[in-house]
Amino acid sequence: MAEYIDRDKAIETIQETVEPYVIVDPETTCIVGAGVKEADVIKVLNGLTAADVQEVRYGEWLEDEHKAEYCSKCGKHPYNDGEYYIAGWWSEFCPHCGVKMKG
């Protein structure tokens, strides 16, 4: 599985720890290039702790032949023994499988 890092933390750490360099033309003493060493950036990125993230799965509320809504991912209705869960076509998540509903 892919690992994810905090972009802002990565940028901040690189700016604080990686020493930039400049390339000067010896004849003109003009700066002709600048940058940072790739190895230094890789070292910083490898030292960052991976974020604890989970993939977001998406679904949508659909209607069956009786006009009752159900989840497009798990196929379950948002009911429990005839009673509504705190869910339905207006809910942001399915109470059974946890998918995030689009739109």
Same domain, 38 and 62: no
Amino acid 51: pLDDT: 84
Residues 6+ apart with CB under 8 A from 80: none
Report how many domains make up the chain. Answer: 2
Number of H helices, E strands in the chain: 2, 8
Question: Could you read off the pLDDT tens digit of each residue along the chain, which spans 103 residues?
Answer: 678 899 999 999 999 999 988 999 999 999 998 899 999 999 999 999 988 888 889 999 898 888 888 899 999 887 765 555 555 556 788 888 989 988 5
Same domain, 38 and 14: yes
- pTM value is 0.50
Question: What are the residues facing 62 on neighbouring strands?
Answer: 70
Could you tell me where the DSSP H helices lie in the chain?
7-17, 38-47
Same domain, 69 and 103: yes
Tokens 């207006």 locate to: 90
Alpha-carbon gap, residue 92 to 81, rounded angstroms: 21
Q: Flag whether 68 is in a domain.
A: yes
Domain hosting 39: range is 7-47
Closest among 46, 38, 101, 44 to 69, alpha carbons compared: 101
Amino acid 53: pLDDT: 84
